[in-house]
Structure 1
Amino acid sequence: MADQITILAVDDQPQNLRLLDAVLSPHGYRVVPAISGEKALHQLSESDVDLVLLDIVMPGMDGHHVCRRIRQDPKTAFLPVVMITASGQQEKLAALLAGADDFISKPFDQGELLARVASLARLKRYHDTINRQAEELRRWNTELEDRVAAQVRDLERVGRLRRFLSPQLVDVIIDSGEQDFLASHRREIVVVFCDLRGFTPFAEASEPEEVMGVLNEYHQVLGKLIFEYEGTLERFTGDGLMVFFNDPFPVDDAPERALRMSLAMRDDVRVLADGWHRRGYDLSMGVGVAQGFATLGRIGFEGRFDYAAIGSVTNLAARLCGAAGPWEVLASQRVYHAAEPAVLGTEIGALELKGFSRPVRVFDVTDTGDHRER
């Protein structure tokens, strides 16, 4: 039986052990005999015991010594021990001092023996239940700690993703658990590169706090629009900023999104520039937009990774940005025609750009098609 009580009976007289077995076994108890203190301790190390009936007077290791050894072992420290003695009150006191929970006088009364065994067996079961619940609680705490640690890792992962992805994309990634996009891959993207005109002389002539104040205002405006248009922010480089579309998740209208975002950036930063001008800062903005294939994925080293695009399309966007005048949004022919009629602009001709062997046809994008005359 799974819930059967096991009693270790310890006595150097075999007839006493047989008597205990004859009394206890018919009541469902399992009696394990031991004819010496040494054998009793060996049985305790080998078997699961619920209660010990221990004779005091035995050759070699007496009952007091056995009881003290039981109490010294953490595994059996709370095991119920009933001393069996034929001696008087002084011997009973010594048994209690040795750590016994109860005692029975010889010759024992069967009813008393069964009552005391039943009472202590219940206490042992209660103690086992408490230990089992404590172990379950420990396991639950461990599982909870593991879950909290996993959630912290998820939060850290989300924090890393939010450095270069829009909130909408981060939500998709977290929901799906998908991180394959971090692996190196090739895809056609639209790249937006922008920076501030006049920033270098401004930074040279201004206090660091003034420069940081302007950059904070500038980045706040641009960051809001990047998230709104669901672009992927690759990097900030002082006043320079690079965003791309169509990766890590494809979008059907990448050219249109890129140009609409660029025009919104131009307009919002122009509002900032009015305030800067009143403070004596002569700053404006230029934007370059290009489309082409790039290799994308995670770059860096353990503990510090970025998600980057590598290819001539990023250089083209940067060169177009460099060629743009104040408040101009210059786009390659491919981007401009792909976004029509959602945007308006004029061709400014073929430009010779550093690093490109052939002239590049360029369009000055001035407005969205929403304002086209009907």
Structure 2
Amino acid sequence: MRTPPLILAVDDVKENLEIAHMRLAAHGYEIVTAANGEEGLAKARALKPDLILLDIMMPKLDGVSVLKELKRDESLGFIPVILLTAKADRTDIVAGLDAGGDDYLTKPFDQAALVARVRSMLRIKALHDIVQDQAAKLAEQTKALAAWNATLEARVAQQVAEIERISRLKRFLSPQIADLIAASGGAEHLLESHRREVTVLFCDLRGFTAFTDIAQPEEVMKVLNEYHQALGRHIDQYEGTLERFAGDGLLALFNDPLPCPDHAERAVRMALDMRESVFELAKVWRKRGHELGFGIGIAQGCATLGRIGFERRFDYSAVGSVANLASRLCDEARSGQILIEAKVFNAVERLAAQGLFEARPLHPISFKGFRRRVDAYEILKPAAHPLPYAV
């Protein structure tokens, strides 16, 4: 509503307009007049006043007809109308109120009553405008909230997809590598099939099959959980890639999907730590009546790597002779032994020179599936604790 309010007075009697103008202007209102119904209707549409004083009995277009036209015009919104009638004729009053009038005065009207009715209607108009304004703001806020909700839904969907992607990566990668790949946005590209030189470590328990034949299922799973948790910590520490679990067997690789220049050294260092961890576990298992040993094989060479599987289950795998060689070396290792092939030894020979470990060459070994004998070495850590041998 305007300040001051704009009032349109419509009457075909000039004196009535002058009285209304003088009386209402004295109270600070802005007054616009119209001498007939057609002029009043035109000014109402053009000015959209805050209140209309409308005479019922007018030539050309009477007040009731004007009122009906005003109420049909949705662009005018809510404009209160006080009907002015020269007769206390209930028929005129009822017709005007039915047409949409909000109040009425009979002429000659009392000037104090006129001002009081005008104030009353303007209060209603102010309240209506407040409600309309609040409704408009609410509609705008609802629209903004809907847009924000849509944005939030999109963000949540994106975050859920990201969490799922990182979870898939962490199934076979160390957490720090998985986070790095996810942050780079290149996870899917890095997991596509490719060929690369890697260092592969394969390890398993000695005497595990015999143990599963006599132990309770709960005890078997308890041992496996302790074993996997101990080895998993080392895989994360050295940022290796967990290719697979196979019962008590575990295959981890280095230099993929993210390359690292010291992948053979990492594998050997991790093998030494793994052996120490399983040695401590073996003492606990022995107290529970379980004699279990541990062996490791490490090989280096090129492999085909990438994601394999089907829609509901994907794994990351290394395919090639290097993985088979690591497995064969592990099978050859006695309890407590770490066997590496010549390529790995050549890559880590300086570590032996620094005293990290000692290496003992073995006689060339013949493995099924390999045409040539394999030159191999045993890693001996100074003051190493030999694990019990289990058949």
- Aligned counterpart in structure 2 of residue 192 of structure 1, from 181, 191, 201: 201
Match of 1:37 in 2: none
Taking the aligned partners of 1:354 and 1:368, their CA distance within structure 2 comes to 32
The alignment partner of 1:194 has SS state of strand
Pairing 1:144–2:152 present: yes
**Which shifted more, 311-320 or 136-145?**
136-145
Amino acid at match of 1:174: A
Match of 1:203 in 2: 212
Taking the aligned partners of 2:229 and 2:375, their CA distance within structure 1 comes to 32
- Aligned counterpart in structure 2 of residue 237 of structure 1, from 230, 246, 257: 246
Q: Is the Cα–Cα contact under 8 Å of residues 189 and 291 in structure 1 kept in the other structure?
A: yes
Taking the aligned partners of 1:237 and 1:350, their CA distance within structure 2 comes to 28
Taking the aligned partners of 1:135 and 1:306, their CA distance within structure 2 comes to 45
Pairing 1:246–2:258 present: no
Taking the aligned partners of 1:334 and 1:271, their CA distance within structure 2 comes to 30
1:10-33 CA-partner distances (Å, limit 9, x unpaired)? xxxxx745422224525799xxxx
Amino acid at match of 1:178: G
**Which shifted more, 167-176 or 236-245?**
167-176
1:229-257 CA-partner distances (Å, limit 9, x unpaired)? 11000111110000000011111111111
The alignment partner of 1:164 has SS state of coil
Taking the aligned partners of 1:211 and 1:167, their CA distance within structure 2 comes to 27
Taking the aligned partners of 1:123 and 1:286, their CA distance within structure 2 comes to 81
Taking the aligned partners of 2:266 and 2:292, their CA distance within structure 1 comes to 25
Match of 2:349 in 1: 340
Taking the aligned partners of 2:78 and 2:182, their CA distance within structure 1 comes to 55
- Aligned counterpart in structure 2 of residue 135 of structure 1, from 131, 134, 143: 143
Please provide the CA RMSD for this pair: 3.5
Amino acid at match of 1:358: R
Taking the aligned partners of 1:193 and 1:261, their CA distance within structure 2 comes to 11
Pairing 1:283–2:292 present: yes
Structure 2 counterparts to residues 1-374 of structure 1, below 5 A: 16=37, 18-23=39-44, 25-26=46-47, 80=78, 103=102, 120-121=128-129, 123-179=131-187, 180-343=189-352, 344-367=358-381
1:22-77 CA-partner distances (Å, limit 9, x unpaired)? 24525799xxxxxxxxxxxxxxxxxxxxxxx996668xxx97xx79xx9xxxxx9x
Q: Is the Cα–Cα contact under 8 Å of residues 363 and 376 in structure 2 kept in the other structure?
A: yes
Taking the aligned partners of 1:222 and 1:56, their CA distance within structure 2 comes to 88
Amino acid at match of 1:356: F
1:186-208 CA-partner distances (Å, limit 9, x unpaired)? 10000000000100010011110
TM-score by length of 1: 0.74
Q: Is the Cα–Cα contact under 8 Å of residues 54 and 81 in structure 1 kept in the other structure?
A: no
Consecutive unaligned residues of structure 1, counting only runs of 5 or more, are 1-14, 30-52, 71-75, 370-374
Count of residue pairs brought into register by the alignment = 313
Match of 1:47 in 2: none
How far 1:126 sits from its partner (Å)? 3.3
Amino acid at match of 2:364: A
Q: Is the Cα–Cα contact under 8 Å of residues 167 and 227 in structure 1 kept in the other structure?
A: yes
Amino acid at match of 1:141: N
Amino acid at match of 2:377: F
TM-score by length of 2: 0.71
Taking the aligned partners of 1:228 and 1:185, their CA distance within structure 2 comes to 25
How far 1:120 sits from its partner (Å)? 4.4
1:64-115 CA-partner distances (Å, limit 9, x unpaired)? xx79xx9xxxxx9xx64757867666567767xxxx7x73659999x96995
How far 1:345 sits from its partner (Å)? 0.8
Taking the aligned partners of 1:245 and 1:238, their CA distance within structure 2 comes to 21
Share of identical aligned residues, percent?
A: 42
